Amino acid sequence: MSDTLLKVRDLKIGATIFPPGEKPRDIEIVHGVSFDLAPGKVLGLIGESGAGKSTIGLASMAYGRGGVKITGGEVWVNGRDILKGGHKDIRRLRGAEVTYVSQSAAASFNPAKKIMDQVVEAAVEQKKFSRKDAEARARVLFAKLGLPDPDNIGDRYPHQVSGGQLQRCMTALALCPEPDLVVFDEPTTALDVTTQIDVLMAIKEAIRDTGVAALYITHDLAVVAQVSDDIMVLRMGNTVEYGNVDQIINDPQEEYTKALVSVRSIEHEEKAPTPDPVLSVRNVTARYKGTQFDVLKNVNVDLYPGQTLAVVGESGSGKSTLARVITGLLPPREGEIEFAGRKLSPDLKGRSREDLRELQMIYQMADVAMNPRQTVGTIIGRPLEFYFGMRGAEKKKRIIELLDEIELGEKFIDRYPAELSGGQKQRVCIARSLAAKPKMIICDEVTSALDPLVADGILKLLLDLQKIEDVAYLFITHDLATVRAISDNIAVMYQGQVQRYGGKSKVLSPPFDDYTDLLLSSVPEMRLGWLEEVIANRKMESAGN
């Protein structure tokens, strides 16, 4: 074996795009990227969406997703240029020499087959091991990755294990054929923070113990700093900076890298509660129809006019259910909701048009929350017609005002959602909710699907709009950095209960209860050795593993 396992030279990757109303055309998405990876080393590829990092990772397996084609350059694996090989050579490479761990193990496991069948498939098919030996090896890997009941977990179906466990099974799947290189494509991004560190630690130890090399792809610099030897920063298909992990984190040379390394730039002074809350949730207990346990247990929170209440928690903590109860989609079993000094009907059907207007909502997925066949002007104009009866020039004037408020401007009025970027779509959704002149907006994970720098812009906009329109936000999120940036009050939710509640400064300062401590300490920090430190200091196990 040579001393470079993977050698990429001037890699160029193209794709055919189909812009609406135009002829399909070819574009280049990776413009000549080069790097080397030695056996047993880990290279982190980092960048925002569209940087080409996943595309480069898959190119090391000679694979292009959808219409993506490798158009130039060389990819050498174990001394062979894999782009020059035929179908058979490529098939012999995949699943044997190079394997892949995807972002969503839940989607990447076949729901119809047992976990064990899928974990050993590549090893057996590539004749690396007999079925029996491969299964024995898989059980060893399950144990090494910290999965419960490693001897029998393979007999389960993917839906029978949790998300964090499945992500470890996917790692076992990748390591089972004893590959030389594993491509990890955002393996912890879809997980809760407290689960993320467990999986991260498991992956790190597995890499160390098996001596396999890895490409670790992520948008989170703090995560990649924990596992990599080298880091390559990518932006729009170009290398921005390439160096060892210590240099990139502690001494970044390029402006873009510095922006990624620096912490959030938003500062927000906590406001004191006022006498009359705009929203009071009183002793709310709720369960879904046909189930036997309460998803919300005796929840009490207040939101004050013109302020932000952040509801933080992991998946399954009940934070989205709380939003459903407040909006009337799920009438509570007990308790009541007071809004703007009046009692709200528990059921959506019992609410007046005025109730609906004053309580708006913005969603995580901006693109599915808009009708793709309506223009931005129609989308924003609809609440103006519906609530205020505006028409013609008056309506158009107001739409333009709103477009200016969200910093897009008049030229966007005739565009369709498909022509907008993720951040622009979310801005249109914000304008649509503001058009109703609400007293309060529920923001459900509104920045979770966005890149960090874009998300920052959205949060800034929301804070500015709060000052102008005096609107209150109920901000549902799992991201503690967002909470720090924008909230006045915080409610930490855990298993359907409010674990900790109060002003931002009070909630985020010690002494902590065990769960809040776990949650806060699990947020990756941008320094080397953080992962080992936090694992050593933990007081309780994470819920999702």
| Interface ranges with other proteins (CB under 8 A) | 61, 63, 65, 90-96, 99-100, 102, 104, 107-113, 118, 121-122, 125-126, 156-157, 159-160, 173
Provide, rounded to whole angstroms, the least separation between the CB of residue 126 and other proteins. Answer: 6
Question: Residue 340 is inside which H or E element, if any?
Answer: none
In the bound state with other proteins, the residue whose beta carbon lies nearer, of 99 and 228, is 99
User: What gap in Å lies between CA 466 and CA 268, rounded to an integer?
Assistant: 12
Provide, rounded to whole angstroms, the least separation between the CB of residue 335 and other proteins. Answer: 29
In the bound state with other proteins, the residue whose beta carbon lies nearer, of 31 and 156, is 156
In the bound state with other proteins, the residue whose beta carbon lies nearer, of 52 and 332, is 52
259-to-95, 253, 256, 262, 434 alpha-carbon distances in Å: 37, 11, 5, 5, 31
- Dihedral angle sign, alpha carbons of residues 447, 452, 458, 461: positive
Provide, rounded to whole angstroms, the least separation between the CB of residue 46 and other proteins. Answer: 22
In the bound state with other proteins, the residue whose beta carbon lies nearer, of 34 and 126, is 126
User: What gap in Å lies between CA 87 and CA 97, rounded to an integer?
Assistant: 15
Q: Where do the DSSP E strands lie in 328-397?
A: 334-339, 342-343, 359-362
Residue 511 preceded by cis peptide, ω within 30: yes
Residue 305 corresponds to which tokens in the numbers above? 């006019």
User: What gap in Å lies between CA 501 and CA 374, rounded to an integer?
Assistant: 41
Provide, rounded to whole angstroms, the least separation between the CB of residue 482 and other proteins. Answer: 27
Provide, rounded to whole angstroms, the least separation between the CB of residue 138 and other proteins. Answer: 14
In the bound state with other proteins, the residue whose beta carbon lies nearer, of 169 and 402, is 169
User: What gap in Å lies between CA 165 and CA 424, rounded to an integer?
Assistant: 35
Provide, rounded to whole angstroms, the least separation between the CB of residue 111 and other proteins. Answer: 6
In the bound state with other proteins, the residue whose beta carbon lies nearer, of 186 and 444, is 186
**Cβ atoms within 10 A of the Cβ of 414, count?**
11
Provide, rounded to whole angstroms, the least separation between the CB of residue 243 and other proteins. Answer: 29
Cα 303 to its chain centre, rounded Å, is: 27
Paired sense of beta strands 98-101 and 279-286, if any: unpaired
Provide, rounded to whole angstroms, the least separation between the CB of residue 322 and other proteins. Answer: 25
In the bound state with other proteins, the residue whose beta carbon lies nearer, of 262 and 288, is 288
For the chain, report the end-to-end CA distance as a whole number of angstroms.
38
User: What gap in Å lies between CA 500 and CA 502, rounded to an integer?
Assistant: 7
Q: Are 519 and 528 in contact (CB under 8 A)?
A: no
Of 354, 324, 353, residue with least CA distance to 340: 354
In the bound state with other proteins, the residue whose beta carbon lies nearer, of 173 and 202, is 173
Provide, rounded to whole angstroms, the least separation between the CB of residue 110 and other proteins. Answer: 4
In the bound state with other proteins, the residue whose beta carbon lies nearer, of 203 and 534, is 203
In the bound state with other proteins, the residue whose beta carbon lies nearer, of 53 and 427, is 53
Of 504, 510, 540, residue with least CA distance to 522: 540
Provide, rounded to whole angstroms, the least separation between the CB of residue 112 and other proteins. Answer: 4
| HEC string for 188-209 | CCCCCHHHHHHHHHHHHHHHHH
